[in-house]
């Protein structure tokens, strides 16, 4: 069991590392959005796609390894249950898995907070853009001499 528990801990640490990259990317997106740097946003979205693929791959691995350990101990593939099961067999490995999971969850919570902020900023930017487009349309109609009924004003 030793190598599988260590593999799970290592996998969660790697997952934490990749999630930290995702967090960094999200913070950069927020700053680019606040600064109106469209080219930076496009580049960051491209990076995000690459990180997302790596996130999915490591999550699949973590799920598989957790499932393997859970099968051995007859528990659910949930870290808290795996840690309880490991404590009887190897307290040191249980602590390692628990610490790795805690570290990863702290990063996940930070990421959730940043994503929430980013979503709100994007919603605000969308609303602002819609308002600006509406005002530009009104201004262009006035500049072109379009009257209230949608006809051209022929008075000079």
- Give the residue carrying structure tokens 């190897």: 90
- Give the residue carrying structure tokens 């927020």: 30
pLDDT in tens, the chain (156 residues): 468 999 999 999 999 999 999 999 999 998 988 888 888 988 999 999 999 999 999 999 999 999 999 999 999 999 999 999 999 889 999 999 999 999 999 999 999 999 999 888 888 878 888 898 888 888 888 777 655 555 555 555
The rounded distance, in Å, linking the Cα atoms of 78 and 58 is 16
Q: Are 44 and 32 in contact (CB under 8 A)?
A: yes
pTM higher than 0.75 for the full model? yes
List 146's β-bridge partners, or say none: 152
Looking at domain 2-143, does it have CATH number 1.20.58? yes
- Find all residues with CB under 8 Å of 48, minimum gap 6, and list them: 22, 25, 29
Domain ranges of the chain: 2-143
| 120 phi-psi bin (left φ>0, alpha ψ -120 to 50, beta other) | alpha
The pair of structure tokens assigned to 119 is 């979503």
């Amino acid at each position: 069991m030793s190598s599988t528990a260590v593999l799970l801990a290592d996998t969660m640490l790697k997952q934490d590392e990749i999630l930290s990259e995702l967090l960094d990317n999200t913070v950069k997106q927020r700053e680019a959005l606040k600064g109106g740097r469209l080219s930076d946003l496009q580049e960051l979205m491209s990076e995000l796609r690459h990180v997302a693929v790596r996130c999915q791959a490591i999550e699949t691995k973590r799920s598989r390894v957790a499932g393997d350990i859970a099968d051995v101990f007859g528990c659910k593939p949930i870290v808290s249950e795996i840690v309880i099961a490991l404590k009887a067999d190897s307290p040191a490995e249980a602590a390692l898995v628990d610490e790795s999971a805690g570290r990863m969850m702290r990063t996940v919570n930070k990421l959730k907070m940043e994503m929430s902020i980013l979503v709100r900023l994007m919603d605000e930017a969308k609303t602002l853009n819609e308002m600006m487009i509406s005002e530009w349309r009104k201004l262009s109609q006035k500049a072109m001499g379009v009257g209230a009924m949608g006809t051209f004003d022929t008075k000079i």
